[in-house]
Amino acid sequence: MHVRNRSLAATLAACFALSIGIGIHAPALADEPGVSATEILLGGLHPYSGPASAYAAIGKGALAYFSYVNDKGGVHGRKITYKDLDDAYSPPQAIQLTKQLVEQDHVFAMFDTLGTPSCSAIRPYLNDNGVPQLFVATGASTWGSDSAKYPWTIGWQPDYQSEAIVYAHYLLKEDSNPKIAVLYQNDDYGDDYMAGLKFGLGAKASAIIKTAAYEVTDPSVSSQIAALKSSGADTLFIFATPKFSIQALVAAAQQSWHARIFLNSVSASQTILGAATKAGGVDATKGVISTQYLKDPSEPKWDGDSGMKLYREIMAKYLPGADTNNGFFTYGMAVAYTMVDTLEHAGKNPTRKTLMDAAIHLSERDNPFVLPGIIVHTTPKDRFPIDQQQLARYDGARFSSFGSLISGRGR
Amino acid sequence: MHDLAQQIVSGLATGSIFASMALALVLIYRSMGVMNFAQGEMAMFTTYLAWQFVEQGMPLWVAFPLTIAIAFAGAVAIERIIVRPVEGGSPLTVVILTLGLLITFNGLAGWIWGYTVRTFPSPFPTTPLHIGSVAFSSQDLGIIAVSLASLGAISLFFQKTKVGLAMRAAALYPESSRALGVRVGWMLALGWGLAAAVGALSGLMIAPVELLDPNMMQGILVYAFASAVLGGIESPVGAVVGGLSLGVVLNLLGAYVPFIGNELQLTTAFAIIVVILLFRPAGLFGRRSMQRV
Amino acid sequence: MKGEGLRKYAGVVLIALILALLPRFVPSYAAFELTFVGAYAIGILGLSILTGASGQISLGHGALFAIGGYTVAILGQKLGVPYWVSLPLATIAGGIVGLGLGLVALRLEGIYLALATFALAVATPSTLKHFRSLTGGSQGIVLAPLAVPGPFHGLLTSEQWLYYVTWVLAGALFFATSVALSGRLGRSLRALRDNEVAAVSFGINPQRYKTLAFAWSAAYAGLAGAIVAIATAFVSPDTYSVALSLSLVTGAVLGGLGTLWGALLGGVIVEFLPLLVQKVNPAAPSVVYGVALILFMIFLPGGIGRAIQSGLNSLRLRRETNHART
């Protein structure tokens, strides 16, 4: 008798502890989830662990900007709390954390969720529940082009396809019969760029005479470069993340392949090209063309710029010791700026509906972290907030922009 | 065909990366009978240490030996403190322990130094070299040369020195060695230290080509395993030959067999591991061990 | 005697009762997370059989999750197969692949098997991407939401329905496994694990049992992968990275290999340890995770399950000694 009760009690106690652990509680609901008199609660997902952890800097940059805004009084008198969780770039983790953020923490909206797999996994749920999924941190074109099916989701950065279209149009102006080779990362990122390039080339898509993909687990891309070079192409597109871009540039130089090179913007920062120059010589990077839309903190030409000064102030105060040359921090602040702008336009008593409305009626001209002249602009029909980009050419030491701001989709 | 020659040479270059890590793996296996899944991450971590030294202004010829010494000492300490408690246990316990080391070192490097890709200084000049129209870098040559030199040094150590002999004895016949006065525990620690030193050297050689980032070794680890298995998991010579061959084979398959292309390289490495283990478990250079009943 | 038997089942019945009533009291997303616990527990049960009962190490069970997940996704989205059909098919698919792996595994020992399965785990995402016309490549496949069937419509949310399906399946499988392991099958496997040579001389056919163990554990993993896919409503190659395989093994070992409670605990660990670790150190969760693994292996290599078991055993011993004394 005695003994049975004791083990029963122990099991009961364990189960009770377990249930507390999962957090059974029903917090008092505000009228609008995530909005109180003093606070706005936003949810976020970034990979703080695992192979994609480099991108976590974006979330940290956004957090720093929000802290800055909060210290100045917040938005309509409310402080922004950004609960940014680690989804380890895993869709099952992403969907669970999102449900937690929406159903337990009652976030007002999801902001700056990162990674196409995670964002794709949570998109149906958020749309079914009318939770805004704002300014997702990936350049996949689907966030803008599938808005009829998923009206609560919107991207932010210039999408990969339109970037490739910008390159294609420029190339055809310079050379009506190029012979094109493409190195691309073997995932949705690379696939999107390829699609954009083909679309932008239009009738001349057959100018692409050879493509080669690489996996992020590949130790080097020199084999791919050799294969691409042997096709006789005179133009090389590199759609790769920083490490592989550097390897590709160096390999091309080593193999004495003097092609006209287009490099995707994610890998086109001063720091990265400087590294490629160091490793492969000036030949590796001279003449490389890319696009920009953010101010690159490692480029000295922005040193006197007020936006860059603000960036450095915020970094010094809220992320001391972090590497200010890391453009991901700039990205985070830039997109947080747009978020604050949207919150302001959502009104003094924002609801998810007014927030989403504000997000699809943006006309933001004064984002201090994007290139001068870029307008963050949306309409219900045009859900690509930033599609203006600036072509720039690297001379072996510096980028210099040329031409005017171009819109990738001609919108 | 120039193209083929270029692919082969690039393959040798990549293969030398595999070879140098495979050498470290083989050393651990010979001394302990286990695979250290954390070998790559430990090498990456020590390479970051070297980077830090160079950043502080230390010249390369001081930073490199210092890093290797730290790697040696650190690994000995890890073996004595962390690995020793689980030595007698099941192989799975040791595997999980090394996985824990892998995750810890990876996270630690990311935490301390961040995830931005960095260049790493090379002791060799960066101008490309040519044989005819086939290009390669002196760094690639350097990796092969250093791997061969390490191989030579290790072989000499195991065949000709008393300590080396004691290490081999301790690994194969721990009980008898103990009876003969060999400090088996310290031999194991020495094995770890040596493997880490080779790994550190390999990291220093690889980093200029691979570029420094906390995840640089993860892809390489499987290829290094495949190389070790191909060459014979107990044979240092096999590790080097296996690595070089694997690099060339993968490159050629990738360039000339469209079905495999560049996507299935890892799968190919896996298939190689399985096929070798099934049909010739001793690899190219290993000795077949018989289990007497 | 009778008291003991009842006591053993009291724990199980209580857990079952709690699980059955939980969705009434916890928010839907918590039931959602517990569904994952159940799925991982099923997968780890399989792994536990393989390693604990038959002594074969697999670091590649994530690949079998992928088989299960993609089977359900492809059958559902390309052929319109409903989940109640594709779930068993995913289990069978896992079993068939496991049979193949098991045949290969026969020739590989200990560390070599660990190596080969590790390579399998690492190679899985790129292989999935390669067959893009089938798998959707890196875009992945969005799955149809799980519909709650007629009689339960309105009573349960889709998440709660999946929760019950998962835990009923888990309960059934745990029970079946317990029965199988305590019988001849279990004894043969354990004999093979402990001393293969002796077992063979007793007439136990190692090929048959070891392959069977692999197929069995792979079937469980396929089922688990299918459930995770349905719950997430999305599959992509990145979901099945090597990290998944490693966390399954970690959960199995930390929970306690070869024990049923250990598999259940393993499921809890795989699901909640990453979340817990984030709270301890949000800046470097991997460091905490890695250090935790190392400490566990040094101090509790048998896993939590065994520690609890030996704790309970020594408690019982002390109690019986006291009883005997009085």
Over residues B240-244, the mean pLDDT reads 92
Q: Average pLDDT, stretch A88-113?
A: 93
State the pLDDT at residue A370.
95
Q: ∠ CA(C41), CA(C46), CA(C47), 5° rounding?
A: 95
Q: Find the residue in C nearest to B292 (Cα).
A: C197
Chain C residues touching chain B at CB-CB below 8 Å: 51, 57, 59, 104, 107-108, 110-112, 114-116, 118-120, 122-123, 126-127, 129-130, 197, 246, 249-250, 253, 257, 283-287, 289-294, 296-298, 301
Residue type, A293: Y
Amino acid making up residue B106? N
Band (pLDDT 50/70/90 cuts) for residue A290 is: very high
**Any A CB within 8 A of B85 CB:** no
> How many CA within 13 A on the CB side of residue B80?
12
Q: Which residues of C touch A99 (CB under 8 A)?
A: 28-29, 32
Are A237 and A180 in contact, with CB atoms under 8 Å apart?
yes
Q: Please answer whether residues C231 and C274 qualify as being in contact, where contact means their C-beta atoms are separated by less than 8 angstroms.
A: no
pLDDT score of B169: 81
User: What is the arithmetic mean of pLDDT over A196-222?
Assistant: 90
Q: How far is A4 from chain C, CA to nearest CA, in Å?
A: 6
**A to C CB pairs, distance under 8 Å:** 130
pLDDT for residue B74 is more than 90 = yes
d(CA C307, CA C310): 5
CA–CA gap between residue C241 and residue C127 (Å, rounded): 11
Cα separation, C263 vs A400, in Å, equals 60
Round to whole Å and give the CA distance between A278 and A274: 6
Q: What is the pLDDT averaged over residues A173-191?
A: 91
Average pLDDT, chain A: 88
**pLDDT band (50, 70, 90) for residue B209:** confident
Query: Which residues are paired to A294 by β-bridges?
Result: A370
> Which chains border B (3 or more CB–CB pairs < 8 Å)?
A, C
Where does the pLDDT of residue A27 fall: very low under 50, low under 70, confident under 90, or very high at 90 and above? Answer: very low
**A residues 322..341 contacting B (CB < 8 A):** 322-323, 326
pTM comes to: 0.87
Q: Which of B17, B239, B13, B128 is nearest to B5 (CA)?
A: B13
Q: Give the closest residue to A386 by CA, choosing from A371, A402, A400, A401.
A: A371
Q: Compute the average pLDDT of residues B175-191.
A: 84
Read off the pLDDT of residues C208-241 as tens digits, 9 standing for 90 and up: 888 888 999 999 999 999 999 999 999 999 889 8
Asked if C4 has any chain A CB less than 8 Å from its own CB, the reply is no
Contact B262 A219 (CB under 8 A): no
Highest mean pLDDT among A393-397, B119-123, C7-11: A393-397
- Inform me whether the C-beta atom of residue A104 falls under 8 Å from chain C C-beta atoms: yes
CA distance C49 to chain A (A): 25
Q: Among the listed ranges A142-156, B231-245, C304-318, which one has the minimum average pLDDT value?
A: C304-318
Mean pLDDT value across residues C58-72: 95
Distance CA C298, CA C320 (A): 31
B242 to each of A195, B10, B227, how far by Cα in Å? 39, 16, 5
Using CB atoms, pick whichever of A215, A223, A255 lies closest to residue B255.
A223
Closest CA to C58 of C5, C2, C104: C104
Q: Is the per-residue pLDDT at C305 higher than 80?
A: no
The answer to whether residue B105 scores a pLDDT higher than 90 is yes
| Residue C86 Cα, gap to closest chain B Cα (Å) | 27
- Averaged over B145-168, what is the pLDDT? 85
Contact at CB, A223 and B11, closer than 8 angstroms: yes
Q: pLDDT tens for residues A347-382?
A: 999 999 999 999 999 999 999 999 999 999 999 988
For residue C38, what pLDDT band results from cuts at 50, 70 and 90?
A: very high
Does residue C306 surpass a pLDDT of 80?
no
Interface contact B128-A254, CB threshold 8 A: yes
B141 pLDDT above the threshold of 90: no
pLDDT, average across residues B42-65: 94
Q: For residue A333, count other CB atoms closer than 10 A to its CB.
A: 27
Residue B41 contacts residue B106 (beta carbons within 8 Å): yes
C-alpha distance from B23 to closest chain A C-alpha (Å): 17
* Three-state DSSP state, B289: coil
- Give chains near A: 3+ CB pairs under 8 A: B, C
Q: What is the pLDDT of residue C238?
A: 84
pLDDT at residue A9 tops 60 = no
Contact residues, chain A, for B126 at CB < 8 Å: 278-281
Rounded mean pLDDT, A40-44: 96
List chain A residues with CB under 8 Å of B16: none
- For chain A positions 190-249, those within 8 Å of chain C (CB to CB) are 191, 215, 217
pLDDT mean over A70-91 = 93
Q: Which residue, among C220, C214, C320, has the nearest Cα to C260 in the 3D structure? A: C220
* pLDDT tens by residue, B5-35: 888 888 888 898 899 899 988 888 887 777 8
Backbone angles phi, psi at C7, to 5 degrees: -65, -40
For residues A258-272, give the mean pLDDT: 91
Q: Across the interface, which of C11, C145, C235 has its CB nearest the CB of A11?
A: C11
* Domains present along chain A, CATH in parentheses: 31-158+295-380 (3.40.50.2300), 160-292+394-399 (3.40.50.2300)
End-to-end CA separation in angstroms for chain C: 19
pLDDT value of residue A372 = 94
Q: What is the mean pLDDT of residues C312-320?
A: 80
The DSSP annotation for B157-212 comes to HHHH-HHHHHHHHHHH-HHHHHHTT--HHHHHHHHHHHHHHHHHHHHHHHHHHH-B
Q: What is the dihedral of CA A56, A57, A59, A64, to 10 degrees?
A: 150
Find, among C38, C21, C29, C53, the residue nearest to C214 by Cα. Answer: C53
pLDDT band at A6; cut points 50, 70, 90: very low
pLDDT (average), residues B177-183: 82
Query: Any CB–CB contact under 8 A between C286 and chain A?
Result: yes
A-chain CB neighbours of B208 within 8 Å are 279
User: In what helix (H) or strand (E) does residue A174 lie, and over which residues does it extend?
Assistant: helix A160-174
Q: What integer is the mean pLDDT of B186-208?
A: 90
Pair A56, A47: CB distance under 8 Å: yes
- Residue A411 confidence (pLDDT): 38
Contacts C137 to A, Cβ<8 Å: 187-188, 191
Which chain A residues are closer than 8 Å to B216 by Cβ? 243
More confident residue, A91 or C53: A91
Task: Assess whether pLDDT exceeds 70 at residue B199.
Answer: yes
Alpha-carbon span C236 to A138, nearest angstrom? 16
By C-alpha distance, the chain C residue nearest A190 is C138
Nearest chain C residue to B100, by CA:
C290
Question: Which A residues 59-78 touch C at CB under 8 Å?
Answer: none
* A126-168 pLDDT, tens digit each: 999 999 999 999 988 888 888 899 999 999 999 999 999 999 9
Binary contact (A24, C27; C-beta < 8 A): yes
User: Above pLDDT 70, what percent of chain A?
Assistant: 91
Which residue is listed with tokens 């690995």? B83
Q: Look at residue B1 and tell me whether its pLDDT is greater than 70.
A: no
| The predicted structure's pLDDT at residue C228 | 96
Flag whether residue A184 sits within 8 Å of chain C, measured between CB atoms: no
Contact A88, C243 (CB under 8 A): yes
Touching subunits of C (3+ CB pairs, under 8 Å) are: A, B
